[in-house]
Structure 1
Amino acid sequence: MMRQDPKAIDDDPTQALRARGVRLGQQQGLRLQWLSRTFGPLVHCDERPSPGRGRTIVLLDPPTGAGAELLYGTLTSHDAVAIPFGENPAFDFLKSKLTAFGTVGTSADGPHELWWGGRDWPAPETAPATTMGVVSCHPTTVGDLHVYHLRRSLQRLGLPFDIEAIDCRPGERLSAADKADFVARMWQRHREPLLYVEADVMFQAAPGLPHLAGCDFAVHKWNGWEMSPRTLYFGRSKAAETMLTTWREIASTYPDVWDGYLIDQAWSAVTSQIALDTVWLPRSYHAVAGEAGVGNATIVHNLKPTNADLGPDPDFAEVARSPRRAGRVGALESLLVVRSKVKSGRGVTVILRDVEGSSARATADSIERLTSAFVADCGGFGRLELSLCSWAPEVRMARRAALLADNMVLEIVPGQELPADLFAATAASEAMRRPASFNAHRH
Structure 2
Amino acid sequence: MISADTVQADGLQTNFDQLLAANGIRMSAAQRRRLAWLSERLGRATIHQAGSVPGRDHGVIILVEPPSGPAAEILYRSLRADCAVVVPFGENPAFDFLKSKLTDFGTIGPSFDGPHEMWWGGLNWRPIAPAEGSRSDSALRVVSCYPRAYGDDHAGALREKLAEFDIACDIVPIDAADGEHMRASEKSAFMLRMWQEHREPLLFIEADATLSELPLLPSSLECDIALHKWNRWEMSARTLYLGRTLAAESLLRNWHHIATAYPAVWEGYLLDQAWSLTSSRMALDTAWLPRSYHAPAEDAGTPRHTTVVHNLPTDNSDLGPDAEFGVTMRAARRASRSGGRDAMIVIKSQAASNNAITVIMRDIATSDAREMAASIEAVTGAFAADCGGFGRLELALCPWQDDIRAAKSAAASANSRIIEIAPWQALPADLFRTVGQSRDAGSVVVMAGQRG
Assess same fold via TM > 0.5: yes
Q: How many residue pairs are counted as aligned between the two chains?
A: 440
Secondary structure of the 1:7 match is coil
Q: Point out where structure 1 has 5 or more consecutive residues left out of the alignment.
A: none
Residue among 38, 43, 47 paired with 1:44: 47
Q: Are positions 1:205 and 2:213 aligned together?
A: yes
Per the alignment, do residues 16 and 54 of structure 1 end up closer, same or farther by CA in structure 2, a change over 3 Å counting?
A: closer
Once residues 137 and 448 of structure 2 are traced to their aligned partners in structure 1, the CA distance between those partners, rounded to angstroms, is 54
- Per-residue deviation at 1:10? 4.0
**Contact (CA 8 Å) 2:9, 2:45: kept in 1 or not?**
no
Q: Which residue of 2 aligns with 1:396?
A: 405
Pick aligned residue for 2:320 from 279, 295, 311: 311
> Is the CA contact (8 Å cut-off) linking 2:364 and 2:422 kept in structure 1?
yes
Partner of 2:117: 113
Provide closer, same or farther for how the CA distance between residues 9 and 67 of structure 1 changes in structure 2, counting only shifts above 3 A.
farther
Counterparts of residues 114-193 of structure 1 (less than 5 Å): 114-122=118-126, 123-125=129-131, 126-169=134-177, 171-193=179-201
Contact 2:425 2:447 survives alignment (8 Å) = no
* Aligned partner of residue 2 in structure 1, secondary structure: coil
Percent of aligned pairs with the same amino acid: 48
Task: Say if 2:145 and 2:171, in contact at 8 Å, map to a contact too.
Answer: yes
Find the counterpart in structure 2 of residue 90 from structure 1.
94
Match of 2:425 among 406, 411, 416: 416
- 3-state secondary structure, aligned to 2:389: coil
The equivalences for 1:240-279 within 5 A come to 240-279=248-287
Which residue of structure 2 aligns with residue 81 of structure 1? 85
Does the aligned pair in 1 maintain the 2:53–2:78 contact within 8 Å?
no
Query: In the aligned structure 1, how far is the partner of 2:303 from the partner of 2:203?
Result: 20
Aligned partner of residue 338 in structure 1, secondary structure: strand
Q: Match of 1:243, SS?
A: helix
Distance 1:145 1:8 in 2: 52
Bigger drift between 156-165 and 266-275 goes to 156-165
Residues 115 and 295 of structure 1, relative CA distance in 2, 3 Å threshold: closer
Give the whole-Å Cα distance in 1 for the aligned partners of 2:86 and 2:317: 33
What is the TM-score normalised by the length of structure 2? 0.94
> Aligned partners of 2:389 and 2:429: how far apart in 1?
15
- Say which of 18, 22, 38 aligns to 2:21: 18
Higher mean displacement: 132-141 or 310-319 = 310-319
Distance 2:304 2:213 in 1: 10
Displacement, 1:18? 2.3
Q: 1:158: Cα distance to partner?
A: 1.3
Aligned letter for 1:31? R
Query: 1:58 touches 1:84 (CA, 8 Å); kept in 2?
Result: yes
Match of 1:405 in 2: 414
Distance in 2 separating the partners of 1:15 and 1:186: 42
Tell me how far 1:269 sits from its aligned partner.
0.3
1:28 to 22, 28, 31: 31
Q: Is it true that 1:334 corresponds to 2:340 in the alignment?
A: no
CA distance in 2 between counterparts of 1:54 and 1:197 reads 36
| Root mean square deviation of aligned Cα | 1.6
Q: Measure the CA separation in 2 of the matches of 1:47 and 1:262.
A: 41
> Per-residue deviation at 1:156?
1.1
Does residue 352 of the first structure (1) align with residue 390 of the second (2)? no
Task: Determine the C-alpha separation between the residues in 2 that align with 1:231 and 1:199.
Answer: 10
- Aligned pairs for 1:348-387 (under 5 A) are 348-387=357-396
- Which residue in 1 is equivalent to 2:59? 55
Query: Is residue 8 of structure 2 the alignment partner of residue 7 of structure 1?
Result: yes
Please give the alpha-carbon distance, in whole angstroms, between the structure 2 residues aligned to 1:9 and 1:37.
Answer: 7
Matched position secondary structure for 1:437: strand
SS in 2 for 1:296: coil
Letter in 1 for 2:356: G
Number of the residue aligned with 2:223: 215
Could you tell me whether the CA contact under 8 Å between 1:128 and 1:208 is conserved in 2? yes
Instruction: Using structure 1 for the length normalisation, give the TM-score.
Output: 0.96
Matched letter for residue 338 of structure 2: V
Any stretches of 5+ residues in structure 2 without a counterpart?
none
Paired with 2:253 and 2:319, the residues of 1 have a C-alpha distance of 26
Matches of 1:351 and 1:108 in 2, distance apart?
18
